[in-house]
Structures are given as structure tokens and as C-alpha cells.
Structure 1
């Protein structure tokens, strides 16, 4: 099972990604965040295998 943290400032996008990813049966979303600080906290807490990050997000995005 691949453990994933989703980071996007749009809650609807996070919900949609969660639905699609978990429907595969091999992915479990272990955390979500709506900003960069929350993303770092979720990664620290859950230690996921993969982090999906929005490119433009408050606090920190996927690109510098």
C-alpha cells in the first residue's frame, strides 16, 4: 500500500484526488493539507511514501 499526503489549497481538489487515488486499491491517503505549513506538519507526522503538492499554494508550493 502506497501512503500519500495530499497538499492543495482547494479542498475540492484534495477530495477528488483522494477519491481517484483510493479507488485504485493500492493507495491510502494518510494526510491532507491546505497550505505549506500544514503540508510539512503532515509529512512529519505521517511519513508518507509520496507527497502530491499543488504548484501554487500558500506558504509553500511544489515549485520554488
Structure 2
């Protein structure tokens, strides 16, 4: 009986450790300005091949082609 209670308790502890991961998940609409600069440089280097438009450097919004 002790083993069963211990195994259930351990399983609950493992499940509880997975809960905080949703809290740290980023909002997909937020872009880091450093990332945007890198992506815009890649788009500029491959002009005409990607069909993508550069984003605003301040990260306020993403283009529809993203």
C-alpha cells in the first residue's frame, strides 16, 4: 500500500512540474527587435527569392507575408 501511495504521489509531482511551462510560453505576436533585424537582413540578402517584405524595426507589427 505504501508503494502505491508513493507512486501516485510521485506521478502527481511529475505532472505538477509540467504546469509552469505554459506560463513561460511567449506570445507569438511579440517579436524581439534583435530577431527582426536579423530576419530583415536575410530578406534583404535574398531579395526577389523569398517574396517576403521586411518588418518594422521596432517590432510593432509583422507583415502579412510572415
Give me the TM-score of the superposition, normalised by structure 2. Answer: 0.35
Bigger helix fraction: 2
Which one has more relative contact order, counting CA pairs under 8 Å at least 6 apart? Answer: 1
Bigger strand fraction: 1
Give me the TM-score of the superposition, normalised by structure 1. Answer: 0.36
